[in-house]
Structure 1
Amino acid sequence: MDDARSGHAALREAGPVHRVTTPLGGEAYVITRYEEARAVLQDQRLSKHPKNAPGFLRDSGLVTEAAGPVGVNMLSSDPPDHTRLRRVVGKAFTPRRVQALRPRVQQITDDLLDALPTGKEIDLIDRFAFQLPITVICEMLGVPVEDRDRFRAWTRAMTLVVSTPDERRRREEGMAALQAYLSDLIERRRGGVDREVPHEDQPDLLSALIVAADERGELDEDELLGTLMLLLIAGHETTVNLIGNGTLALLRNRDQLDALIADPGLLPSAVEELLRYDGPVENATFRFTVEDVEIGGVTIPGGNLVLVSLAGADHDPLRFDHPGELDLARRDNPHLAFGHGMHFCLGAPLARLEGVVAFASLLGRFPGIRLACPEEQLRLRYQSPLVIIRGLEALPVVLGR
């Protein structure tokens, strides 16, 4: 993790915008400084629609003319489609609705922690960090929780760093398997939806999406499937890495861990700082120039891929004092871990809730938690060949009271 951070620092010092060759062979422009990153994230001259993607992304199979890496959804669309698609699911993720989930999130957390042994090595990613958010998002969506291990295998395949024909085949198979599963689930659920119940009062998000598609015409069939895929994947993958990366950051900064255990009132600011310090999303999702755009004194020609380095921006010393230090009491912390502008993460309130409950419960119950292997044995799992999401393969710990 330190190697990546030093790489971001070198790019920032050299300038705010860099043309690079991607692992897929094509070129991209990477934004590395906070001010320029924040501006790009809200710049509507840049498109999210895959029809505007450079050819090498289509050649790689990551996007098609109509669909992004996880189908047709709000993340790969521009206004007015983006506005329409976001509105369909937005009410489920308002701060008020998310706070109403707190008792259930707490119960799931407690049940998971009850099952963990003390004094012996466990993988915190497998036993806790993955289980909590996948259970929550499955229940919100109305997707069978018992299939969570299948979702994990498929989404891991879909987000492989594709560098060989075999990896591309595995990615395509994962995508096809998840699409087939969800398409079948949609059809099975259609017949049981009470269409007299308004969209916003349906018992789960899948029912609400079906009503929005069938009764209100707000989604077509591809958008219904793509939105469900996006919510399922984004609803758990990022929080897995928030909990995993955050726990490791605390274990590597014992003074901050001890301060948090001594003062649980730090939890809200602690979660924000963990998101800034080593957040789960390294680069923002794809953006494309449809005309020449000047950013940070550099003209980026139309038809190019632009990657915003959220990790680089959130360690910019021009914006954050001592950005390389973990400071759980940091007050001035407008990090970009959830993005910015109209594509700001819809699930941010849920991720924050899950983070606060997870860390409060884990550390409250097991303040003696410690790493169970040398740090150099830990391995990062990069998701997407252009490093969108980054987290740990495993986090071996021993829990102590």
Structure 2
Amino acid sequence: MPGLGDGEVVHYGELGCWVVADPDAVRAALCERRLSSASLARCLDLYMSEAARARNGSLEEILTRWLVQLDGTDHAELRKQIGPALSPARVRALEPEVERIVDDALDQLEAAEERDAVALVSDVVPARVMGRLLTLPEVDVAMLYRWTRAISAFLDGVYRQDAAEEARRALGEMCDRLAAAGADRERPGGIWDHLGDEKYRLATASMMLFGGLETTASLLGSVLHHVVTVPGAAASVRAEGDSAAHAITEQVLRTHPPLSHVARVADSDLEIQGERVPAGGLVLLSLNGRDVIGEPHAPALGSRYTHAFGHGAHYCLGAALARTEAVVLLRRFCTRFPHAASEEARLARHENSTYLRLAGLRLVLGAAG
């Protein structure tokens, strides 16, 4: 495969796509109106047979209505409806609940015989936060991740029929549960009133649940790994509080973003860094400064920008909530377990080239603070 140097755009002819990794080029491309966000349909055109698409039509129908797949008026109107549900004021109001959820997870971590911070903390916290936000009456953490990880496996390999069928089943179960939560909501004016009309409501709710779990769990695992392996990191959080926790969160978002890349489709012929991309061309924009096809799990080069939440019109509406969860977790964890360390010499990640997350993080907690 061709190499990817600074400022270079590489065409992978066998895959029918272009890869952009230079941070400045990525930043510009994220605001380029000729690059459409409706990438899933194009990926299915390229990589899935018509028969397979017909068998899994309900999967495509929901996912192509996710806000991240929309552009123009559809995107702007739906974003305007959803925005108040995740506004800074709403996130601030939710912070005491996040603190309670984090404290409960840390209780479970301390009481466990095998202290895997991924299974007991970084997976649990976003699941319970999103359960609270979407008014799910019960939160079965394992079930939620079974759904979201089936969907992430499909999005990572849309050409795989087994992944498509499993994702279709998972998304169906997820939407059934979300529909019941929306119908049974007790308080008018809650988040369900912000999720658009019936055409988009379940699509938006499923997108929020998926993003709120998959990407936030990855972020929380990575910030915990940082403070138990980088000398002085935990001490800085204890001494400086939220300012240090915010700085660590931003560093992790730059160097180990939960999402390795986003896809765009050229609406018309255009040029990126001197490389011609024809109309219909699939463009993968790296969020960590690396070639997302060659070695997606290699250490990230990082970026002068935090691209983890996107940029421009599609900047992630859940960014404030994800950052809040990370900062609260760092503050509570570093205060409570000042001597925590990792048992593992090597960082292991799940085998998914698009959604990057820790496979586990076993800790020795030491004396409590």
Does TM-score exceed 0.5, indicating one fold? yes
Partner residue, 1:177: 170
Partner residue, 1:396: 362
Partner residue, 1:266: 244
Residues in 2 aligned to 1:276 and 1:193: alpha-carbon distance in whole angstroms: 40
Note closer, same or farther for the CA distance 1:50–1:58 as it changes in structure 2 (3 Å cut): farther
Is structure 2 residue 20 aligned with structure 1 residue 31?
Answer: yes
Residues in 1 aligned to 2:141 and 2:193: alpha-carbon distance in whole angstroms: 19
Q: How does 1:191-210 map to 2 (within 5 A)?
A: 197=188, 202-203=189-190, 205-209=191-195
* 1:17-56 Cα shifts (integer Å, max 9, x gaps): 11125xxx62211111011000000111011225861522
* 1:268-302 Cα shifts (integer Å, max 9, x gaps): 22211121121211112x21012111111111111
Tell me the SS of whatever aligns to 1:381. coil
Tell me the SS of whatever aligns to 2:140. helix
Partner residue, 2:309: 338
8 Å CA contact retained: 1:73, 1:85 = no
Partner residue, 1:289: 266
Tell me the SS of whatever aligns to 1:287. strand
Is structure 2 residue 205 aligned with structure 1 residue 228?
Answer: yes
Structure 1 length normalisation: TM-score? Answer: 0.78
8 Å CA contact retained: 2:219, 2:257 = yes
Residues in 2 aligned to 1:294 and 1:302: alpha-carbon distance in whole angstroms: 11
Is structure 2 residue 82 aligned with structure 1 residue 93?
Answer: no
Structure 2 length normalisation: TM-score? Answer: 0.85
Partner residue, 1:186: 179
Residues in 2 aligned to 1:271 and 1:397: alpha-carbon distance in whole angstroms: 20
Tell me the SS of whatever aligns to 1:311. coil
Q: How does 1:244-255 map to 2 (within 5 A)?
A: 244-255=221-232
Structure 1: unaligned runs, 5 residues or longer: 1-6, 214-218, 315-322, 326-331
Is structure 2 residue 331 aligned with structure 1 residue 360?
Answer: yes
Q: Which moved more, 1:124-133 or 1:264-273?
A: 264-273
Note closer, same or farther for the CA distance 1:333–1:367 as it changes in structure 2 (3 Å cut): farther
* 1:231-274 Cα shifts (integer Å, max 9, x gaps): 10001211111111222233332133433333324122221112
Note closer, same or farther for the CA distance 1:271–1:75 as it changes in structure 2 (3 Å cut): same
Partner residue, 2:297: none
Residues in 1 aligned to 2:61 and 2:20: alpha-carbon distance in whole angstroms: 21
8 Å CA contact retained: 1:261, 1:363 = yes
Find 1:380's aligned residue among 335, 342, 349.
Answer: 349
Post-superposition offset of 1:207: 4.8
Partner residue, 2:11: 19
Q: How does 1:137-176 map to 2 (within 5 A)?
A: 137-160=130-153, 168-176=161-169
Partner residue, 2:118: 125
Residues in 2 aligned to 1:148 and 1:66: alpha-carbon distance in whole angstroms: 22
Note closer, same or farther for the CA distance 1:184–1:120 as it changes in structure 2 (3 Å cut): closer
8 Å CA contact retained: 2:223, 2:252 = yes
Residues in 2 aligned to 1:175 and 1:259: alpha-carbon distance in whole angstroms: 45
Q: How does 1:44-83 map to 2 (within 5 A)?
A: 44-50=33-39, 53=42, 55-59=45-49, 67=60, 70-83=63-76
Residues in 2 aligned to 1:193 and 1:260: alpha-carbon distance in whole angstroms: 39
8 Å CA contact retained: 1:66, 1:72 = no
Report the residue type matching 1:340 in the other structure.
Answer: H
Is structure 2 residue 229 aligned with structure 1 residue 256?
Answer: no
Residues in 1 aligned to 2:325 and 2:342: alpha-carbon distance in whole angstroms: 22
CA RMSD of aligned residues (A): 3.2
Residues in 1 aligned to 2:265 and 2:319: alpha-carbon distance in whole angstroms: 24
Note closer, same or farther for the CA distance 1:300–1:81 as it changes in structure 2 (3 Å cut): same
8 Å CA contact retained: 1:71, 1:229 = no
How many residues are paired up?
353
Residues in 2 aligned to 1:191 and 1:109: alpha-carbon distance in whole angstroms: 27
Note closer, same or farther for the CA distance 1:76–1:85 as it changes in structure 2 (3 Å cut): same
Q: Which moved more, 1:152-161 or 1:171-180?
A: 171-180
Tell me the SS of whatever aligns to 2:356. strand
